[in-house]
Amino acid sequence: MKRLIHPKWFCFLTVACGPMMATMDSSAVNVSLPTIARLYQASLNDVEWVIVSYLLTMAALLLPFGRLGDQWGRKKLFRVGMVFFTVSSIFCALSLSVPQLVVSRIIQGIGGAIFISITPAILVDSFPTSERGKAIGLMGTIVSTGLMVGAPLGGFLTHYLSWRWIFLINIPIGILGYFLAGMNLPKDPVSDKKIRFDFPGALSIVLASSTFLFALNKISTWGMDSVWTLGLFCVSFLLFIQFLKIEHKNPLGVLDLNLFRRPLILGGSFSLLFHFMALFILYFLTPFYLTEVLHLKPHEVGLTLMFFSIGFAMVTPISGWLSDKVGSRILSPVGLSLLAILYFGASTLNERSQGWHVSLLLMLVGACGGLFQAPNNSALLGAVQRPHLGTVSSIIATMRTFGIMMGVAFGTLLFSLYVQLTNGLGKHFTPQEVPAHLFVGGYHFALLCAAAIACIAVFFSLYRVRPEF
């Protein structure tokens, strides 16, 4: 008897549990940050590490886990990721301080890195070449749905129950995903070939990224001319150079540097990095603007942020279809150019703006992001043969995560510097201590810088030499 549902779709639904849970959780946590900051009297610099610690861990481990999945087996690694994410969610819910929550989020980031790094490879193994694009596109819809549901859900849980429930809802999903993976994911192939894991390369990129982000976060506290700040930046630079040397000598390292010799890979990857950097300057600071300036409640903040995902989900399938017809060279730069214009327009928001103004802005930002991302990622994945598809998927995920981390860090830095230089509140202050007009000024300054960063992304998106991708 013919099966009504092909096994590949059971596999798809199983691996979707990971990205769905991770994106929904991230979106919900972002909404709860103002509440957590008030509860523990934490500064913006302190509470941002609830996000940065998670993203930093993910960014540092994406490439190593992609290689580990090839060596150890993706099915086993996926189930390990479910265990890490589920157990760490319990730790997050039980945290009694911001430092405890940050440590728990680091453990959670390990599970998130596993999901993001091996999901495209599992889909490629499960779907025929003719349906690969459809599977990847549908997974993008899952991610958008997670972001869309996470924001209002996080606001609802924070307002009516507690921010701790944001993490507790991961437990049943994680348990379900663990057992579904055992039943539905394809068996890991048995191979006698030993692949030596690149521990030196993995360690060097973990340390390089960690020191860079930590130094960036501390500029507003220590000052740019501090010995500690300059020292950490120098250490980060030397570690990154060491990473490049290690990967150059190791053809089986965590990153194939030869891919970046191609203008499409180089331009597409770095346009993705700067796009997410600009985007998350806006996305990180906006909940604080809505809470402290417009005085919206947590569930209202969540509903407002949801419009970003609505715009993204509406445009992404259309832009993906259009890129198959006309290519990505026009769509991607146009999307980024419109984003830069929107960031300039966002700098007109003030104390008298309404929630629907921000909702409309976020929906347009999401739509322009979808116009850029789907064609750009499709071009990157279509530029390499099947053996390199997993590597390019990891590059996309790494650039995205690094861009998000840098956006959060730079958003905090720019806002804090503006407040300190114009009002002299000191190096350590909470968002509640900033007057509304001064908060708006810092918000405007950060968004203008985001617009400039989006222009850099446009440049890299145009950095292509082939006539069609």
Q: How far apart are CA 19 and CA 24, in angstroms?
A: 8
| Residues 316-329, mean pLDDT to the nearest whole number | 74
Q: Which residues contact 394 (CB under 8 A, 6 or more apart)?
A: 62, 63, 66, 117, 255
What's the sign of the alpha-carbon dihedral 405, 407, 408, 414? positive
CA angle 121, 53, 260 (to 5 degrees): 45
Helical segments of 73-169, H only: 74-93, 98-126, 132-160, 165-168
The pLDDT assigned to 275 comes to: 92
C-alpha torsion 313→317→109→287, nearest 10: -20
| Domain range 1-132+147-188, its CATH number among 2.60.40.10, 3.40.630.90, 3.30.2020.30, 1.20.1250.20 | 1.20.1250.20
128 φ, ψ to 5°?
A: -70, 160
Return the sign of the alpha-carbon dihedral for residues 398, 117, 191, 202: positive
Predicted pLDDT of residue 359 = 87
Q: Using CA atoms, how far apart are residues 104 and 236, in angstroms rounded to an integer?
A: 25
Average pLDDT along the chain: 79
Instruction: Give the range with max mean pLDDT: 87-96, 299-308, 348-357, 391-400.
Output: 87-96
What CA–CA distance (Å, rounded) separates 407 from 55?
11
CATH code 3.90.1280.10 for 256-469? no
Residues 255, 464: Cα–Cα separation, whole Å: 22
Burial classification of residue 247, based on how many CB atoms lie within 10 Å of its CB (0-12 exposed, 13-18 middle, 19 or more buried): buried
Average pLDDT of the segment spanning 346-369: 84
pLDDT in tens, 458-469: 888 887 645 444
R_g of the chain computed on alpha carbons: 21
* Residue range 102-114, pLDDT digits in tens: 899 999 988 888 8
State the Cα–Cα distance between residues 400 and 413, nearest whole angstrom: 20
Residue 4: band (very low, low, confident or very high) from pLDDT cuts 50, 70, 90:
very low
Q: What percent of the chain has pLDDT over 70?
A: 84
Of residues 135 and 142, more confidently modeled = 142
For residue 189, what pLDDT is reported?
63
- What pLDDT, on the 0 to 100 scale, is given for residue 397? 78
Is pLDDT at 251 greater than 70 in this prediction? no
> Do residues 66 and 394 make contact, with C-beta atoms less than 8 angstroms apart?
yes
Asked if 390 and 272 count as a contact pair (C-beta separation under 8 A), the reply is: no
pLDDT of residue 393: 73
Sorted by where each begins, the domain ranges of the chain are 1-132+147-188, 199-249, 256-469
pLDDT, residue 318, reads 78
d(CA 185, CA 175): 15
Apex 323 CA angle, 321 and 329, nearest 5: 165
Contact in structure between 276 and 403 (CB atoms under 8 Å): yes
What's the pLDDT score for residue 452? 93
**Highest mean pLDDT, choosing among 68-82, 182-196, 305-319, 448-462:** 448-462
Task: pLDDT band for 131, please (50, 70, 90 cuts).
Answer: low
The pLDDT of residue 1: 39
CB 304 within 8 A of CB 358: yes
The pLDDT of residue 87 is 92
pLDDT of 235: 92
Q: Residue 91 is which amino acid?
A: F
Separation CA 308–CA 151 (nearest Å): 10
Residues in the chain: 469
∠ at Cα 224 (431, 97), nearest 5°? Answer: 40
Looking at residue 418, what is its pLDDT? 81
- For 183, the token pair is 């039943």
- How is residue 429 annotated by DSSP? -
Predicted confidence at residue 6, as pLDDT, reads 58
Segment holding 56, helix H or strand E: helix 49-72
For residues 290 and 298, what is the distance between their CA atoms, to the nearest angstrom?
Answer: 9
CA-to-CA separations, 287 to 52, 151, 291, 301, 431, in angstroms, rounded: 16, 10, 6, 6, 11
Token pair, residue 100, equals 């405890």
Tell me, what amino acid is at 64?
Answer: P
Q: Is the pLDDT of residue 326 over 60?
A: yes
How is residue 440 written in tokens?
A: 């708006």
d(CA 30, CA 59): 18
More confident residue, 337 or 466: 337
Write down the pLDDT at residue 217. 67
Does the pLDDT of residue 263 top 70, yes or no?
yes
Query: What's the rounded Cα separation, in Å, for the pair 384 and 396?
Result: 13
Average pLDDT on 162-169 reads: 86
pLDDT at 420 over 60: yes
Q: What is the pLDDT of residue 454?
A: 92
Q: Give the predicted TM-score (pTM) of the model.
A: 0.77
Please list the alpha-helical segments (H only) found in 161-297. Answer: 165-168, 170-184, 199-222, 227-249, 263-292
